Each structure stands twice: as C-alpha cells, then as structure tokens.
C-alpha cells in the first residue's frame, strides 16, 4: 500500500454523510468526548498526588520521580504503532474499550504496591508496572478516540476532533487534580488506586453507546512510513509538549519546595485555560491554518513557562500556568492539522498515533532529564528550560507556515 503525499491527500467527509459542521460536529463528538473525560479523571487524580507520594512517602529522589512519571510516556511511545494499527484494523471503538479496561487494571497494580511501603524499592517497581499498564491503556484510548472522532465527522474537521478530545483530556486533569487531593487527604494513595480501578468502567458504559466506525484497513501500515510524513509537525509538538510535561511532573514539587500549599489549583488553572482556549478558538486551526495558530500559541506558552520560573508568589505562578495551558491548548491541534493533511485517509488512526508519539518522545526524555536539572539547580529551573524548548518550536511553526504559503 502506498502512502500519498500531503498535497494529494484528499479530505473526504465522514462516511455515509454530507458535510458535518458546527453543532452537528459537537453533538457527534459529545458522547465520545465524555467517555474520554471520565476515563482520564483517573490520570487527573494522580497528577498532584503521585509525585509527592513517591518523594515524601516513599523517600524517592527527584530523579526517580521523573523516571517513574516519564516511564508512562516512554511506554506510550512504544505502544503507539501497535495502538494505531489496532484501531485501524480492528476498529477504533474496540481500541478505546480495550484501553479503558487496561487503565482499570493499572489501579490494581497500584493497590498491589501498598503492602510494600516499608520496602520502598519494591513498592516503586510495582507502581512502575502500574504506570506501564496506564500508558498502554492511554495509548489505545487517545489513538482510538482521535481516529474514531475523525471517522465520525470527517478529516475536514480533524482540528475540531483534536480540540474536543483535548478538552475532555485536560478538563479531566483540571477537575481530577482537586478531586485527587481530596481523596488523598481522606483515604491516602489507596483511594487513588481504587478510583483508578472503578472510574474507567463508568467511561466504558458511555463509550459502548457511541456509534462505531468501520475499520479503515486490513493491512498493517509500517509505522515508520507514517512517522516520516508527520515528522515536521511532530517535532513542533515534541518541543511544545515539554511545558506540559514539566507542569504535570514538577509543579507539585515546586509548590512544596516554596511552601505554597497543595498544587491542585495550579492544575485547575492549567485545565481551565486549556479548555477556554479550545472552546473560544478551537475552530481556528481548521479555519486559519494550523501553522499560523501554532506559531502564536507556542509564543504564549513559552511566556507562561518563564513566568513560572520567575514567580515568587502563587499569583504569578498561577498566571504562568494559565498562559502555558492556553498556549499549549492550541499548539496541539495547530501542529496536528498540519500532520493530518499529510496522512492518507486509510491510515488515520496510525497517523494520529504517530503524531501523538512525538508527545511521548518529548515527555519520556524530558521528565527524567528535568529530574536531574531539579536536583542540581532547583525545581524552578526546569520551567526555564522548558520555556527555551517551547521557544524553539517557533522555528518549526515558521517552517510549516512557509511551506503552507508556498502551497507545499
């Protein structure tokens, strides 16, 4: 099977339908987005709790914290090719359902780690197994939901699919973070583990009600071929995602180091800004062009990260987190639209998996490195380093903008 070039890739409408726009896109994507939202609440609950649990309860160093957090993204990266081909060949709905079940199983691993708290090394290894399962489940849910959404509303609405799935994911982070802190206060990490087991089954009931789309191919597409098509926008995503990685992995440690109280409101600020940007401007990548939107977005994100590094009060830190969330919100679909137009329609799930793989590459590498940086130069320094990395994605956006202007 050949892979067509970006300029020759058509943008057909959803199978069996006329053009799907506006409110119809929203209504078609709402149940799917709700399922993703509920499933990702499990991850949102862990964001402010797991780093502190590893660092304070188990006595792990910041490097180990970064390694455990980053392991999820490394495993997700390694599973993207399999997840994308699974969704394309066996159906995106089946991929999402399977992913939710695997996420629930990660909670069982968390529960299994609790009896070994007095032997922290053993507990961490079991937790790491849970993170591996979480990564595989997340890979299936994200890759499957993107391919499923595009199948429902058509590739011409790819930016809107990314926007609404992203709203679901980061809305879950925003709401899940304070819920996670409250659960942790009342029931400890055991409560987080139990929630991780049970919540995906609620999401499963919603996903089952959504109309399935046919599998798009019976042929396994070599992942490296699709990866090469989305290389440039993927690089932009990788650089832009370092900011997200540092906030999820280290903002809780920054708040603890500065004695600013719990960090749940920081995750909420990120999520609210992220969702607000998607609601207000989620249509702009499809309308104005992905590269143009990505360019503005990564500049805003970089400014926010530098503010977090510079912050000496929680107010400035919250402002920086909100700006970073606002900018990253539109960087993802901005670069993503550029990736989608380069991919053949018969491989939409594996193409989205290839694109999201660059996020995994970024977070899998950046989180452990940031742990080393934090250990040597202080936790706040990781946000300056992330600001520089995000600033480099401006160059990628400019390159894509130049190609778009040239009609490439």
Please report whether residue 377 resides in a domain.
yes
How sure is the predictor about 223, in pLDDT bands with cuts at 50, 70 and 90?
low
Note whether residue 16 is domain-resident: no
Q: What is the pLDDT of residue 229?
A: 80
Instruction: Please give the distance of CA 74 from its chain centroid, rounded to a whole number.
Output: 13
> What pLDDT is attached to residue 196?
96
Cα separation of 162 and 286, whole Å? 11
Domain with 291 in it = 25-211+223-405
323 band by pLDDT with thresholds 50, 70 and 90: very high
Is 42 among the domain residues?
Answer: yes
Q: What is the pTM of this model?
A: 0.72
Q: How confident is the model at residue 18 (pLDDT cuts 50, 70, 90)?
A: very low
Please, which pLDDT band fits residue 19 given cuts at 50, 70 and 90? Answer: very low
Question: What CATH number did the domain enclosing 400 receive?
Answer: 1.20.1250.20
Whether residue 288 lies inside any domain: the answer is yes
Q: Name the band, by pLDDT with cuts 50, 70 and 90, for residue 347.
A: low
pLDDT, tens digit, for every residue of 107-119? 999 999 999 989 9
Average pLDDT, the chain: 85
Domain membership of residue 18 (yes or no) is: no
Q: How confident is the model at residue 295 (pLDDT cuts 50, 70, 90)?
A: very high
Q: How far is CA 325 from CA 25, 245, 386, in A?
A: 24, 11, 13
Number of structural domains (the chain) is 1
Going from the C-alpha of 166 to that of each of 150, 154, 331, 393, the distances in angstroms are 14, 17, 11, 20
299-325 burial: b if 16+ Cβ within 10 Å, else e: bbbbbbbbbbbebeeeeebbbbbbbbb
pLDDT digits (tens, 9 = 90+) for 83-127: 888 888 888 899 999 999 999 999 999 999 999 989 999 999 999
State mean pLDDT over 191-209.
Answer: 94
Dihedral, CA of residue 217, residue 218, residue 220 and residue 221, to nearest 10: -30
**What is the per-residue pLDDT across 356-406, written as a single tens digit (0 to 9) for each?**
788 878 877 887 888 888 888 989 999 999 999 999 999 999 999 876 555
Residue 156, pLDDT > 90, answer no
40 belongs to a structural domain:
yes
* Average confidence (pLDDT) over 177-199: 93
Domain-embedded: residue 1: no
In a domain, 7, yes or no: no
Confidence of residue 216 (pLDDT cuts 50, 70, 90): low
What's the mean pLDDT in 209-220? 73
Instruction: Find tokens 């708290």 and name the residue.
Output: 117
């Amino acid at each position: 099977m050949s892979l067509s070039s970006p300029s020759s890739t058509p943008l057909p409408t959803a199978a069996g339908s006329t053009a799907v726009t506006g409110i119809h896109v929203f209504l078609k994507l709402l149940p799917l987005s709700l399922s993703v939202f509920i499933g990702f609440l499990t991850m949102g609950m862990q964001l402010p709790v797991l780093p502190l649990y590893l660092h304070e309860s188990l006595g792990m160093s910041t490097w180990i914290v970064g390694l455990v957090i980053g392991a999820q993204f490394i495993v997700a990266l390694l599973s993207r090719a399999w997840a994308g081909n699974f969704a394309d060949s066996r159906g995106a709905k089946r991929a999402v359902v399977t992913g939710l079940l695997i996420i629930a199983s990660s909670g069982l691993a968390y529960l299994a780690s609790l009896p070994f708290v007095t032997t922290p090394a053993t507990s961490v290894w079991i937790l790491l197994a849970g993170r591996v399962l979480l990564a595989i489940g997340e890979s299936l849910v994200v890759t499957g939901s993107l391919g499923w959404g595009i199948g429902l509303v058509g590739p011409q609405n790819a930016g809107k699919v990314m926007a609404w799935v992203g709203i679901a994911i980061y809305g879950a982070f925003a709401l899940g973070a304070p819920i996670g802190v409250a659960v942790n206060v009342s029931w400890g990490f055991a409560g987080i583990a139990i929630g991780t087991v049970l919540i995906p089954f609620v999401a499963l009931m919603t996903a089952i009600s959504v109309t399935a789309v046919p599998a798009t191919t019976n042929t396994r597409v070599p992942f490296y071929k699709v990866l090469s098509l989305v290389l440039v926008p993927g690089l932009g995503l990788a650089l832009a995602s370092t900011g997200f990685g540092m906030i999820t992995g280290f903002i809780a440690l920054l708040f603890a180091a500065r004695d600013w109280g719990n960090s749940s409101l920081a995750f909420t600020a990120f999520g609210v800004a992220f969702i607000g940007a998607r609601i207000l401007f989620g249509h702009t990548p499809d309308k104005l062009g992905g590269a143009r939107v990505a360019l503005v977005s990564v500049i805003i994100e970089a400014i926010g990260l530098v503010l977090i590094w510079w912050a000496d009060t929680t107010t400035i830190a919250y402002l920086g987190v909100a700006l970073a969330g606002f900018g990253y919100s539109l960087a993802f679909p901005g670069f993503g639209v550029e990736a989608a137009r380069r991919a053949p329609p018969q491989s939409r799930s594996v193409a989205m998996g290839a694109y999201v793989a660059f996020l995994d590459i970024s977070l899998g590498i950046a989180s452990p490195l940031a742990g080393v940086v934090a250990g040597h130069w202080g936790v706040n320094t990781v946000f300056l380093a992330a600001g520089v990395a995000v600033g480099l994605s401006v160059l990628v956006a400019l390159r894509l903008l130049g190609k778009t202007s040239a009609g490439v």
